[in-house]
Amino acid sequence: MGRPAFAAFVSPIPWNSRIFLILLALMSGVTFSARCRAQTVDVSGRYQCIQVKVQNRVVACTAAPLILRNDGRFELRGWEGSYLVNGQWVELSDSLLKARGKIEPGHRIVLHYYGKKGFVEIIYERRVAELGKTALG
């Protein structure tokens, strides 16, 4: 019996090199999966409105707080649904609507949308330690 046709293109690899290649592949897979897990961002918490821009003009910030729960649900002024972190974006959605907010440094989420008065940008910031609640007892 002769060698298969594809064997002409494949050079024989000694058994100890094969083991090395298999170990290398396994180790790179473990490293890659560890990197993927390390990039998961926990954005859950209560975010307060710190700035609103309507048509590039800053207006009074009267927006309700944005609450992102640990279970993947959110609440914003009676609007409830689920959220998903996708890279540098937080995607808020329910059965009818979808919105995206960009995750920025300093525990901030910036929402953009078109409202009745035009283009709106709302910047929410999460307070990591609430003021006045630092007692240890």
Q: Taking the complete model, does pTM exceed 0.85, yes or no?
A: no
Is residue 16 left, alpha or beta, with left meaning phi > 0 and alpha meaning psi from -120 to 50?
alpha
Query: Which CATH architecture best describes the domain 45-126?
Result: Beta Barrel (2.40)
- 10-residue mean pLDDT profile of the chain (137 residues): values are 50 52 51 44 92 92 92 92 94 89 95 88 84 52
> Domain locations in the chain?
12-38, 45-126
- Provide the CB-side half-sphere exposure for 35 (13 A, CA): 6
> Which amino acid does the sequence have at 7?
A
pLDDT in the model for residue 107? 93
pLDDT in the model for residue 117? 86
User: 118 with 55: CB under 8 angstroms?
Assistant: yes
pLDDT in the model for residue 1? 56
User: 43 with 68: CB under 8 angstroms?
Assistant: yes
pLDDT in the model for residue 75? 94
pLDDT in the model for residue 22? 59
SS3 of residue 129 by DSSP: coil
The torsion angles phi and psi of 75, rounded to 5 degrees, stand at -145, 135
